[in-house]
């Protein structure tokens, strides 16, 4: 039984945008109160190594190691191994830094020894000093496929190798039917441990949908007593990071925060209590609220650490309403 008022917060995060808000949350919440569920649909194998791009972006950000310019990878990184591989004729379209390689080598070794991804991720978070409890969305392999004219591409090939150039026609998530949501997270949901659930400003199609598509997860979030707040990744008709706006346009969806809100309302009815938009999109309030969500306007463009903390504080205040 839950012995007292819930204080913990569950955040759902993809890569750079989600990690920014997660960092802001980590600077406000007490140690141990921030729990982050991370997309692993982007995971893939490269040079025989298990790469978890979104998990690593989050861990590097929360531990103060991320490259501040790119938002991903490690600061002050070198690429001597990658250059040597290029000279040998290897495919080097996915940039793996020398110190970043240590993360992938360690993770791959632990997985090969029989540890599940959840255990490996928790251990890695502790070793790096990440200020949160971090969970992969599931231990089973789920792989995001981007459907384009003429076929399908694994997400990293679409995103990095092809630089998001092919026109998108849809998405699928291989293996998702056999996946089970992170046991630690469902256990905490069942115990009523969360005061709030925050869906960070991550791509709804390839960062959040893989998580919410795991059987039983989105309904467990909806049925939780904790209010669910979504922060829009689209500001004034543009994505601050990544291909979300391009994907929406190619799928024939309005490239607005309202388009994102409609996606959640149609695919996950009743899930979202609060939909947070940038102040520049305040005129969308009537249409968003007609979807059954309370719209909240805030400064959602997170350029500095103070911006991230301010937005986190604004989002957390919603649970007190």
Residue 102: what pLDDT? Answer: 96
The Cα–Cα gap between 97 and 130 comes to 20
Q: Look at the pTM and tell me if it is higher than 0.85.
A: yes
The DSSP line for 154-194 is: EHHIIIIISTT-SPEEEEEEETGGG----HHHHHHHHTT-E
Q: What is the rounded CA–CA span in Å between residue 19 and residue 26?
A: 10
pLDDT tens digits for 71-124?
A: 889 999 999 999 999 999 999 999 999 999 999 999 999 999 999 999 999 999
Question: What is the rounded distance in angstroms from the CA atom of residue 99 to the CA atom of residue 54?
Answer: 17
Output the pLDDT for position 5: 59
pLDDT for res 1: 36
> What is the reported pLDDT for 245?
94
The confidence score (pLDDT) of residue 149 equals 87
Q: Which of 50-54, 66-70, 145-149 has the lowest average pLDDT? A: 66-70
pLDDT tens sequence across 206-235: 999 999 999 999 999 999 999 999 999 999
Q: What is the average per-residue pLDDT within 281-308? A: 96
Does residue 70 or residue 220 have the better pLDDT? Answer: 220
């Amino acid at each position: 039984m839950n012995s007292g008022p819930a204080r913990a917060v569950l955040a759902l995060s993809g890569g750079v945008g989600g990690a920014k808000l997660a960092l802001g949350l980590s600077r406000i919440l007490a140690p141990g109160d921030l729990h982050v569920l991370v997309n692993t649909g982007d995971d893939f194998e490269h040079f025989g190594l298990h790469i978890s791009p979104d998990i690593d972006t989050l861990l590097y950000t929360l531990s103060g190691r991320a490259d501040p310019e790119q938002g991903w990878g490690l600061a002050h990184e070198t690429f001597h191994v990658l250059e040597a591989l290029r000279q040998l004729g290897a495919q080097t379209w996915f940039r793996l830094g020398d110190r970043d390689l240590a993360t992938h080598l360690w993770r791959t070794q632990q997985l090969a020894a029989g540890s599940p991804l959840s255990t490996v991720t928790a251990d890695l978070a502790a070793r790096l000093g990440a200020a949160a409890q971090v969970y992969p969305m599931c231990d089973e392999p789920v792989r995001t496929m981007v459907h384009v004219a003429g076929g399908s591409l694994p997400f990293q090939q679409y995103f990095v190798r092809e630089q998001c150039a092919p026109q998108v026609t849809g998405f699928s998530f291989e293996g998702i039917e056999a996946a089970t949501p992170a046991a630690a997270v469902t256990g905490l949901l069942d115990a009523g441990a969360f005061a709030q659930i925050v869906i960070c400003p991550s791509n709804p199609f390839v960062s959040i949908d893989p998580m919410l598509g795991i059987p039983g997860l989105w309904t467990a979030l909806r049925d939780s007593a904790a209010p669910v707040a979504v922060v829009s990744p689209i500001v004034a008709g543009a994505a601050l990071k990544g291909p979300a706006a391009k994907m929406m346009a190619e799928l024939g969806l309005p490239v607005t925060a309202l388009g994102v809100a409609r996606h959640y309302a149609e695919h996950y009815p009743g899930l979202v209590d609060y939909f947070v938009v940038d102040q520049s999109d305040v005129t969308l309030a009537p249409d968003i609220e007609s979807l059954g969500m309370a719209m909240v306007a805030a400064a959602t463009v997170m350029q500095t650490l103070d911006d991230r903390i301010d937005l986190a504080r604004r989002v957390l205040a919603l649970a007190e309403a």
